[in-house]
Amino acid sequence: MSQIFHRSANTIARVSIFGAVFFIAGLLLVFGEVSRSPWMTEAHVAREQPIQFSHERHVAGNGIDCRYCHTSVEESSFAGIPPTKTCMNCHSQIFANSPYLEPVRDSFRTGRSIQWTRVHDLPDFVYFNHSIHVHKGIGCTTCHGQVDRMPLMWQESSLQMEWCIDCHRNPERYVRPRDAVFRVDYVPPANQVEIGTQLVADYQIQKLTSCSTCHR
């Protein structure tokens, strides 16, 4: 009776057993990486908008405070996108003839809302409240990144639940004084944890991680 398997089968068998371990481990690694990658979360991807609105120009260039446009951020769960009227406060005079601003003028004339593309879009089973975070000393840039350097808006963070939970478990790493919440140039100090721990106590920040905090 002849040999069933050629000698090369030895190598194939060894490689396949040895390789299977790496293959499975690699697969798990790739799965973990992909599910956190910007490809899945769309973080760091600048979105097209109906109007090329630049936060960089308006915040860094003109020095407008965040609350000038996002008016309800301190009172409401929803920070709000400014209505056309807010734009027209200035742009009825400034760049009044710019072709880039035609959609704004059109919206003002017709009363049809500008169809902005939402960049930070949480699923509807998540209840997020802006005002509580602002009041407890969480600055805009902590979650939204350096908005003053974004010509077009993009999502800075993954917005995945582990990202939320990380801060809710360790708020002292991210909290800042209330009067610095809207400062886009705020840099966390070297002794952040020390100051943060004090602020957590001062602001009576509860480390809320129960389901009903967000999933109401």
Partner 1 sequence: MDEEVIAPGHTFSTVTDKISAIVLTRKTSLGWYAGFGFSFLLTLMLFASVSYLFVKGIGIWGNNIPVGWAFEITNFVWWIGIGHAGTLISAILLLLKQTWRTSINRFAEAMTLFAVACAGLFPAIHTGRPWLDYWLLPYPNTMGVWPQFRSPIMWDVFAVSTYATVSALFWYIGLIPDLATLRDRSQSKTGSVLYGMLAMGWRGSAHHWHRYETAYLLLAGIATPLVVSVHTVVSLDFSIAILPGWHATIFPPYFVAGAIYSGFAMVLTLAIPIRAVYGLEDFITMRHLQNMAKVMLVTGLIVVYGYMIEAFMAWYSADKFEVFVPYNRMTGPYAPFYWLLLFCNAVVPQTLWFKRIRNSTIALFIIAIIVNIGMWLERFIIVVTSLHRDFMPSAWGRYAPTFWDWSTYVGTIGLFVALLFLFVRFLPMISIFEMRTILPEAKVDEDLRVI
Q: Which of 129, 146, 160, 192 binds partner 1 (CB under 8 A)?
A: 160
Q: Smallest distance, Å, CB 17 to partner 1?
A: 10
Q: Which of 33, 102, 106, 166 binds partner 1 (CB under 8 A)?
A: 166
Q: Within the chain, where are the H helices? A: 8-36, 38-41, 55, 66-69, 84-91, 102-110, 130-135, 140-144, 161-169, 192-202, 211-214
Q: Which of 138, 158, 184, 214 binds partner 1 (CB under 8 A)?
A: 158
Of 135, 179, 191, 128, nearest in space to 157 by CA: 128
Q: Return the range that interacts with partner 1 (CB under 8 A); candidates 30-38, 50-58, 69-77, 97-105.
A: 30-38
CA angle 33, 34, 37 (to 5 degrees): 85
One-letter amino acid at 89 equals N
Binders of partner 1 in range 53-92 (CB under 8 A): none
Q: Smallest distance, Å, CB 168 to partner 1?
A: 10
Residues of the shown chain interacting with partner 1 in the complex, contacts defined by CB under 8 A:
1, 4-5, 13, 32, 35-36, 158, 160-162, 164-166
